[in-house]
Amino acid sequence: MKRLLKILGYIFLVLAVLALGFFIYVKWGIAPDEPQIVDKHALDLQRQKLGDNFYKIGNNWLRKSDSGLWEEYVEGAPFDRGVIAGKLTQELSYDQEAAFVEQIHKLVPNNKYLHLLGYLTRIFNRNLVHNLPDEYRDEIYGESLTASHDFDFVSPPYERLLNYHAAHDIGHAMQSLALVGCTSFGAWDEYTEDSSLLIGRNFDFYAGDKFAENKIVFFCKPTDGHKFAMITWAGMMGCVSGMNDKGLTVTINAAKSDMPTASATPISILEREILQHAGNIDEAYAIAKKRKTFVSESLLIGSAADHQTALIEKSTKKTSLLRASQHIQLCTNHYQSDSFKTDPNNVDNIRTSASEYRYERLQELLKENPRLDYKSVAKILRDQHGKGGKDIGLANEKAVNQLISHHSVIFEPEKGLMWVSTQPFQLGAYECYDLNKVFSEAPTYASNKEIREESLTIPADSFLLTDGWQRFVAFKKAKEDIREILKDHKKDDGTVGATMLRSNPNSWEAYYWVGELKRHEGQRTESTVFYEQALAHEINDSNEVYKIRKLIKENEEKK
């Protein structure tokens, strides 16, 4: 009887959602109206291929560096920029979208649920276009005109690209299921070797290995606002890490949010607006205050004009500015200002997540490197240890380097220098770009030559040459294999679990996944042994601890 009532409850919920969706569709429509662009001359522009992985449209170009990074320069009005960027990156955009959709399929393998999720997203984001500044609405629309129709089962191109810009926000809000954990910091005066402002940042956003394969260092000279550079991917016009020609930098760090109830300005669009239109901290704060956003975020702002950093802490209801009390400022994934310290979400986030632990580890690393230069910043961003240098296993969220970064970046705003990590994660070389030089040469760039400052390259991490890297690769493979075994109701022949334990013996995850294997095979006593071993190691957050204890209790009850 209980099972029948549960099924009827699900059916009622689905029917209610569909009824609500139909009502909204009839009353307001779901698909966003396309912008009314009068001048569409950019549509007639043709892309020229001038060499292997080297394309041009007028002054605009796209090339692949010897480092593996893609580099792109685009100038002009919003719609024109979008059309040109879309044409230049057409193949990359297809690959990027295919990788994203593939990852979504892994997370939601049932097509019926996937279509329902897409439908609900369309309903939720039906007013998204009205929360975008016209400039970025036009730019995204221009780019959508060259988007593939192979993914129209998700939604039409323009609507799809709009929703992708809100994907970070929706995913982040739902990740009160599991918070994305980024790390950033700024230092200046007595904390840096030459007293100049220095900023380091890991963007720990993981949507599969394929999604991070084609990072783009994007240089833009807009008709309105400052010239700027940002690290992005094809189809993404919002910003997550960037610096403009005034020496203003922006990076975002997710904080715990309530589930959004209505569409608002995506945080990446807000950050792009700050990057393009702010020249100092006060101007950045003024822009942040006027936009309502989906979710809670901390924005670390670096400013050459102010010779310091500041944190803009933003939720769906309020915005605060926290200037550093010393010449150093750290940011993980919890709020620090008086305005938010006692916020229930923030208190819960500090209590349950890895954020405070990682903050304290960052403090230790900065004490060990009292006079920073760009090389020591890279060393900190690559650190995989826990507090006190403890081995907490590979890919632990409590480490500064969790081995999941889409990119890592180092800024020297007063010098116009920016270092961007190459594959994999932040372990590959960091390549340096001099923004002053790039923007002076970009409009007349005619040959497929390197534009990075090769003499300032930070070499790849020696970890890649060690047994540790090979063990990490084996650990990732074993985790995927175990997920497949559990999903397809297969049986381990004994090798997968053994590989898991051998590859990452100091990780709680290794014991948890072997515990899952044993439970799957009906070996409840053995499963409990491995769950208890997981609890004896450094676990990411208290939610995982609760889940494992619950599994132990279930094992005991079903013996």
For residue 506, give the CATH number of its domain. 1.25.40
At residue 256, the pLDDT reads: 78
Tokens coding 19: 């009824």
Residues 251 and 351 grouped into a single domain:
yes
Tokens coding 46: 């043709």
At residue 5, the pLDDT reads: 41
Residues 434 and 527 grouped into a single domain:
no
Residues 421 and 543 grouped into a single domain:
no
If one counts every other C-beta atom within 10 angstroms of the C-beta of residue 269, the result is: 26
At residue 110, the pLDDT reads: 64
At residue 41, the pLDDT reads: 85
Tokens coding 196: 């100049």
Residues 434 and 549 grouped into a single domain:
no
For the chain, which residues score pLDDT lower than 50?
1-29, 176-179
Of the candidates 372, 254, 231, 357, which has an alpha carbon nearest to the alpha carbon of residue 315? 254
The number of folded domains in the chain is 3
Residues 108 and 256 grouped into a single domain:
yes
Residues 103 and 166 grouped into a single domain:
yes
pTM attached to this predicted model: 0.91
Residues 401 and 476 grouped into a single domain:
no
If one counts every other C-beta atom within 10 angstroms of the C-beta of residue 73, the result is: 25
Domain boundary pick from 465, 490, 515: 465
Distance CA 458, CA 102 (A): 33
At residue 94, the pLDDT reads: 94
Residues 99 and 180 grouped into a single domain:
yes
Residues 345 and 493 grouped into a single domain:
no
At residue 295, the pLDDT reads: 80
Residues 367 and 341 grouped into a single domain:
yes
pLDDT in tens, 50-92: 999 999 999 999 999 999 999 999 999 999 999 999 999 999 9
Quote the distance between the C-alpha of residue 187 and its chain's center: 23
Helix (H) or strand (E) segment spanning residue 410 = strand 407-412
At residue 24, the pLDDT reads: 38
At residue 264, the pLDDT reads: 84
Domain boundary pick from 443, 465, 487: 465
Q: Are strands 54-57 and 48-51 parallel, antiparallel or unpaired?
A: antiparallel
At residue 131, the pLDDT reads: 83
Residues 20 and 37 grouped into a single domain:
no
Distance CA 97, CA 149 (A): 11
At residue 493, the pLDDT reads: 85
Distance CA 183, CA 331 (A): 6
Where residue 422 sits, what CATH number does that domain have?
3.60.60.10
Range of the domain at 85: 33-465
Domain boundary pick from 465, 499, 517: 465
CB of 551 closer than 8 Å to CB of 529: no
Residues 461 and 472 grouped into a single domain:
no
Distance CA 227, CA 305 (A): 16
3-state secondary structure of 217: strand
The packing angle between helices 467-488 and 508-520, to 10°, is: 30
If one counts every other C-beta atom within 10 angstroms of the C-beta of residue 224, the result is: 9
48 burial level (CB within 10 Å; 0-12, 13-18, 19+):
exposed
Note the helical H segments in 417-507: 435-441, 467-488, 495-503
